[in-house]
């Protein structure tokens, strides 16, 4: 009995010191990443404000893309693309080991891209800043691969929480975005601490965030509105699918152009200038003005979300540097506004639901997106947003804006999907034996074909009999 008690006491002592260790480490990471993210945001905001004084600021896009490409190519190739993807790749393939040069290079390349009008986001650099600094911290203090991996995940959470002012969803995002259908519970506590600490540091340093409380929510439950929210989730799932495929198509087209990346960057910049002239400059840069407008209930052209997808795909496919989540918010909010206008619904409410639902679908993070709805838009919209987020997540299928995500579960038992590998390498086949709906549809289709065949055969026989009688 005494030995059993001693064993339990030892277990609790080990757990206590393990918790204490990660409280201290996560707090340190939160402070470092919060300060670094604040510096990045100050420089970015100043650069955008400086450039926007000039009406034709976006004319320098070809030069900006060229500089961005050269910086990444010669100083830190790991800084290419939209930051979070490279961090996920580092976690899965190298236990979070990252080149320290990624931090300044990604910061500089993203600021140049966004200030000149490139359509990208600001969270990718913050994820890479957080992960890069965490990896450097682990190297300096000689942590093993397991601890480094945890610290890097804390860095992702801290960067996401500080850049958007959403500490809880930021913490969840860091542990949810790595695996589709699974959460790393062993990193949950340090991720929460890092995310909250980073947010508090950024707030203390003067970073301001935008929150929008949505008030047009029925007090009584409405079955019809609930149905329309589910349909909206399906719509946002297809919007996520369009975004993912557009990003892949842009990269594919870019890879098929047999030119150096420097020339492709110039081509991409010229294409954005032409599109801005043809459509509007609203789709350049972060697009926060349009985003604020629709969330406040304003209207935009119904195809605004499609244009933003196009602008973003060209930016990231042809040399621009930056994240993908801010464009996701723009695309989701404008798609929600279009859906609301078509269905005669409140624009602000469905812009808010689209804002988080597209994140759930395209990044495969329905829990983080649902919590973000509460943090940004208030608790009243949460039940509707959560449903739309989960529906969007399922409808998108086994695809993602982050190809290095590990697929941990399949979204339908009627599909044969390879689990345990990166989502970009997974193969999906329909399992007709397990799909009762497909079997039913197939049965109806076969019966229809057989019935038509019998009718055609009968008509042919009647025609032949008629011809014989006439003879």
List the one residue out of 267, 284, 334 whose CA is nearest residue 304. Answer: 334
Mean pLDDT of the chain: 88
**243-265: pLDDT as tens digits:** 999 999 999 999 999 899 999 99
357 in Cβ contact with 385 (< 8 Å): yes
pLDDT of residue 384: 93
CA–CA distance, 251 with 256 (Å, rounded to integer): 9
**Which of the pair, 104 or 276, is modelled with greater confidence?**
276
Residue 448, pLDDT > 70, answer: no
77-81, 89-93, 252-256: which range is least confident on average? 77-81
pLDDT of residue 271: 96
Asked whether this chain's domains 2-204 and 223-417 adopt the same fold, the reply is yes
**198-243: pLDDT as tens digits:** 999 999 999 998 888 877 666 666 788 899 999 999 999 999 999 9
**97-149: pLDDT as tens digits:** 888 888 888 889 999 999 999 999 988 888 888 999 999 999 999 999 999 99
Does domain 2-204 bear CATH number 1.10.3080.10?
yes
Structural Rg of the chain based on CA atoms: 26
**Which of the pair, 246 or 6, is modelled with greater confidence?**
246
**What is the arithmetic mean of pLDDT over 289-312?**
95
Return the CATH number of 223-417, one of 1.10.3080.10, 3.40.50.2300, 1.10.150.80, 3.30.2130.30. 1.10.3080.10
**8-59: pLDDT as tens digits:** 788 888 888 999 999 999 999 999 999 999 999 999 999 999 998 888 999 9
Tell if the pTM clears 0.75, that is, is over it.
Answer: yes
Q: How many CA atoms lie within 13 A of 448 on its CB side?
A: 6
CA–CA distance, 121 with 358 (Å, rounded to integer): 15
Domain ranges, ordered by start, for the chain: 2-204, 223-417, 435-470
CA–CA distance, 21 with 17 (Å, rounded to integer): 6
| 358 contacts: CB under 8 Å, gap ≥ 6 | 236, 239, 240, 243, 328, 329, 331, 332, 335, 392
CA–CA distance, 316 with 301 (Å, rounded to integer): 24
pLDDT of residue 279: 95
pLDDT of residue 453: 63
**418-439: pLDDT as tens digits:** 887 888 777 776 765 555 555 6
CA–CA distance, 110 with 115 (Å, rounded to integer): 8
Residue 352, pLDDT > 90, answer: yes
Residue 464, pLDDT > 80, answer: no
Residues of the chain above pLDDT 70, percent: 87
317 in Cβ contact with 295 (< 8 Å): no
CA–CA distance, 243 with 402 (Å, rounded to integer): 12
Reading the block at residue 107, the tokens are 């910061």
List the one residue out of 287, 281, 207 whose CA is nearest residue 43. Answer: 207
Q: For the beta carbon of residue 75, count every other beta carbon within 10 angstroms.
A: 16
Q: Is 331 exposed, middle or buried (0-12, 13-18, 19+ CB in 10 A)?
A: buried
Residue 463, pLDDT > 80, answer: no
């Amino acid at each position: 009995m005494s030995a059993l008690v001693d064993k339990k006491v030892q277990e609790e002592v080990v757990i206590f010191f393990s918790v204490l260790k990660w409280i201290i480490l996560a707090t340190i990471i939160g402070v470092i990443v919060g300060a670094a993210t604040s510096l990045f945001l100050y420089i970015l905001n100043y650069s955008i404000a400086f450039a926007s004084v000039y009406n034709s600021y976006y004319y320098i896009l070809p030069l900006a893309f060229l500089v961005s490409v050269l910086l990444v190519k010669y100083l830190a190739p790991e800084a290419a693309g939209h930051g979070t993807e490279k961090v996920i790749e580092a976690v899965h393939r190298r236990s979070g080991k990252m080149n320290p040069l990624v931090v300044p290079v990604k910061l500089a390349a993203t600021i140049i891209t966004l200030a000149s009008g490139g359509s990208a986001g600001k969270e990718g650099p913050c994820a890479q800043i957080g992960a890069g600094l965490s990896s450097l911290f682990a190297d300096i203090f000689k942590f093993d691969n397991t601890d480094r991996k945890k610290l890097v995940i804390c860095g992702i959470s801290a960067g996401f929480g500080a850049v958007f002012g959403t500490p809880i969803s930021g913490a969840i995002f860091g542990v949810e975005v790595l695996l589709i259908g699974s959460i790393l519970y062993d990193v949950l506590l340090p991720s929460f601490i890092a995310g909250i600490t980073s947010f508090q540091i950024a707030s203390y340093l003067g970073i301001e965030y935008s929150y929008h409380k949505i008030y047009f929510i029925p007090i009584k439950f409405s079955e019809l509105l609930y149905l329309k929210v589910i349909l909206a989730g399906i719509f946002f799932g297809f919007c996520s699918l369009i975004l993912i495929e557009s990003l892949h198509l842009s990269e594919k087209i870019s890879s098929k152009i047999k030119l150096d990346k420097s020339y492709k960057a110039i081509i991409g910049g010229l294409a954005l200038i032409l599109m801005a002239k043809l459509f509007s400059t609203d789709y350049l840069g972060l697009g926060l003005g349009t985003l604020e407008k629709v969330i406040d209930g304003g209207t935009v052209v119904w195809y605004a979300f499609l244009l933003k997808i196009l602008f973003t795909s060209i930016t990231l496919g042809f040399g621009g540097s930056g994240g993908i989540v801010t464009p996701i918010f723009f695309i989701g909010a404008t798609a929600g506004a279009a859906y609301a206008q078509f269905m005669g619904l409140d624009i602000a409410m469905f812009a808010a639901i689209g804002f988080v639902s597209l994140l759930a679908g395209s990044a495969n993070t329905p829990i983080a997106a649902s919590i973000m709805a509460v943090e940004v838009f208030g608790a009243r919209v949460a039940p509707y947003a959560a449903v739309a987020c989960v529906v969007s997540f399922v409808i998108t299928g086994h695809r993602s804006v982050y190809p290095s995500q590990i697929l941990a579960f399949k979204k339908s038992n009627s599909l044969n999907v390879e689990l345990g590998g990166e989502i970009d390498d997974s193969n999906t086949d329909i399992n007709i034996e397990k799909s009762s709906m497909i079997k039913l549809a197939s049965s109806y289709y076969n019966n229809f074909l057989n019935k038509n065949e019998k009718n055609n055969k009968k008509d042919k026989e009647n025609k032949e009999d008629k011809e014989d009688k006439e003879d």
